[in-house]
Amino acid sequence: MKYTFDIVGVSPLLQFFNHQQQNGQKSPHQGVEYLGMHTCTLDTFLESVESVPVKWDWNLDQVVDTVIQFWLNNSDSIGYWKVRLSDAGKDNLLVARLADITALQAEFESLLDKEW
């Protein structure tokens, strides 16, 4: 199985919480997880993904490797989001998406179906 990890934005804490609650009540696409964190460090990213493989029966080593590869290959993006998070203030979270690539593709396709 292949995984993807990306930073998707900065969100107010309550808005992120409400989004997570709404997704939990619906039948979300299995294998796509949105994570919110207060800091933008590799350690924080790694800590945030530790519980996800258990939930979806993923390979923890591959998930961790995916996050590390993102960190190594996207320094400009990471720097950008660090600044955005700092500018947003303490009541905001950095939102990242961790997903099984097949599940993410299904989520994108469902969004396109809803739009058209």
3-state per-residue secondary structure call for 80-110 = HHHHHHHHHCCCEEEEEEEEEHHHHHHHHHH
**Per-residue confidence (pLDDT) for residue 115, from 0 to 100:** 53
Local confidence band at 25 (pLDDT 50, 70, 90 cut-offs): low
**Per-residue confidence (pLDDT) for residue 29, from 0 to 100:** 54
For 9-26, what is the mean pLDDT?
Answer: 86
The region of weakest confidence among 20-34, 38-52, 69-83 is 20-34
For 67-90, what is the mean pLDDT?
Answer: 97
Local confidence band at 103 (pLDDT 50, 70, 90 cut-offs): confident
Give the CA distances from residue 32 to residues 1, 37, 46, 98, in Å, rounded to whole numbers and listed in that order: 13, 17, 16, 6
CA atoms within 13 A on the CB side of 108: 8
